[in-house]
Amino acid sequence: MVNGNNQKGTIMSVKILRRTEVEQIVGLSRSTIYAMMAEKTFPKPIKLGKRAIGWPDNVIADWIEERTSGDNSHD
């Protein structure tokens, strides 16, 4: 049984985002996401089944946070 004292947060609070949702949230195309995963600059998804993948929403939120709190020298 899973309790609410899990160090990574309660399992029920994590939502799994499918690829199309991730594309909409981060504003990148499928091919760009896969290219960035190959370059290790985008988080790898988790396997949900034989042919299904997804990303925990907190992983995507952390990735966005890293990108937005990083170097803004392009401004």
Neighbouring residues of 54: CB distance < 8 A, sequence distance ≥ 6: 16, 17, 18, 19, 45, 46, 48
Domain hosting 53: range is 15-63
Tens-digit pLDDT profile for residues 40-49: 999 999 999 9
Mean pLDDT of 2-12: 55
Nearest to 15 by CA among 75, 63, 55, 68: 55
CA angle 74, 23, 21 (to 5 degrees): 135
Residue 19 located in a structural domain: yes
* 11: confidence class by pLDDT, cuts 50, 70, 90: low
Residue 27 located in a structural domain: yes
What is the spatial distance between Cα 5 and Cα 50, in angstroms, rounded to a whole number?
Answer: 31
Residue 70 located in a structural domain: no
Q: Please give the tally of structural domains in the chain.
A: 1
Question: Model-level pTM?
Answer: 0.76
Q: Please give the pLDDT value at position 13.
A: 87
Residue 74 located in a structural domain: no
* Confidence check: pLDDT of 66 > 80: yes
Mean pLDDT of 49-73: 91
Residue 46 located in a structural domain: yes
Residue 73 located in a structural domain: no
